[in-house]
Amino acid sequence: MLRAELIRTCSHEKVAEAAIRSIGGAFCERVTLLARACGASCGAFAAQRVRRFSEEACEKDWEALAQAVRGADAPILVGLRWIVERSLDEERVCCGWPRRAHDRQARL
């Protein structure tokens, strides 16, 4: 299944780094700069976000990811980019995958 393959492969730093560099452009530059600011490689930075997504995503998140990669020529790259961009857009800092307020309340 694509979902399992995306998480299994892109959870590894070297694979995630190669994928980020393959995507290239402004996305690669942004991830690399933010990773450096956090003291990490772009691969480690992206792999961490993939692992956190796999641990914390709700079913709606998985459905949105499936929609994002549907019909893509390179679904693993599209999925990685979707996960990383989403974490950057929601988080704005280097401290990991953001949890929604209701998720935090449910876990307390």
- Buried/exposed code over 48-80 (b: 16+ C-beta within 10 A; e: otherwise): bbbbbbbeebeeeeeeebeebbeeeeebbbbbb
What residue spans define the domains of the chain?
Answer: 2-107
DSSP-derived 3-state class of residue 3: helix
Q: What pTM was computed for the model?
A: 0.81
Q: How many CB atoms are closer than 10 A to CB 34?
A: 19
Predicted local confidence at residue 1, as pLDDT: 59
Name which residue leads in pLDDT, 13 or 102.
Answer: 13
Question: Which tens digit of pLDDT belongs to each residue from 82-92?
Answer: 999 998 876 55
Q: Which tokens go with 57?
A: 């995503």
- Residue 94 pLDDT > 60, yes or no? no
Question: Which tens digit of pLDDT belongs to each residue from 14-71?
Answer: 999 999 999 999 999 999 998 998 899 999 999 999 999 999 999 999 999 999 999 9
